[in-house]
Amino acid sequence: MVYVTRKCHFSASHRLYNPEFSNEKNDAIFDKCNNPRGHGHNYVLEVTVAGQPDPETGYVIDLKKLRDIVEEHVIEKVDHKHLNYDVDFLQGIIPTAENLAVMFWQILASRLPSGQLHSIKLFESDNNFVEYFGAPVTLRRFAVRHEEAEFV
């Protein structure tokens, strides 16, 4: 098995809060990340696929094709966006790096040959990153409230 990675960047803003928590509880848990008007990150996304190199081409996957899939279905949707309001597949999702990695997996796994996606690695900063390998997780989608929907 050979592992092939496409690395890309995007910049986005987000706010971490749970609409079912009180303001005090959101502040206690999310602290500065609960700033009502959000804050930004320069994210680094690494998408890794695994497979056998094709004997005819030497490729596990054509990296141009992987690049195009990641760009079209993830990067163009999230780059220079507010993740709480602007991204259809993130509506009602608390946009932590963990949840973003899971959602990116779901989107990319369905657009790559079955079983080929190996991992999603998402850096929120130089020091903080998450990795996801596709094991089932429970991810909650909250109802979007009116005062949030007005930004859509």
Please give the positions annotated as active site: 33, 80, 124
Sign, CA torsion 113/115/116/119: positive
Total residues binding Ni ion (CB under 5 A): 1
**Are the CB atoms for 124 and 95 separated by under 8 Å?**
no
Of 80 and 111, nearer to Ni ion (C-beta) is 80
Look up residue 118 and give its two tokens: 């190996």
Of 23 and 125, nearer to Ni ion (C-beta) is 125
Interacting positions 5-34 with Ni ion (CB under 5 A): 33
**Are the CB atoms for 38 and 96 separated by under 8 Å?**
no
Contact map string, positions 29 to 48, toward Ni ion, x by CB under 5 A: ----x---------------
Q: Where are the beta strands (DSSP E) in the chain?
A: 2-14, 39-51, 81-82, 117-123, 129-132
The candidate with the shortest Cα–Cα distance to 85, out of 95, 75, 76, is 95
Of 31 and 72, nearer to Ni ion (C-beta) is 31
Q: Please report, as ranges, the residues that interact with Ni ion according to CB under 5 A.
A: 33
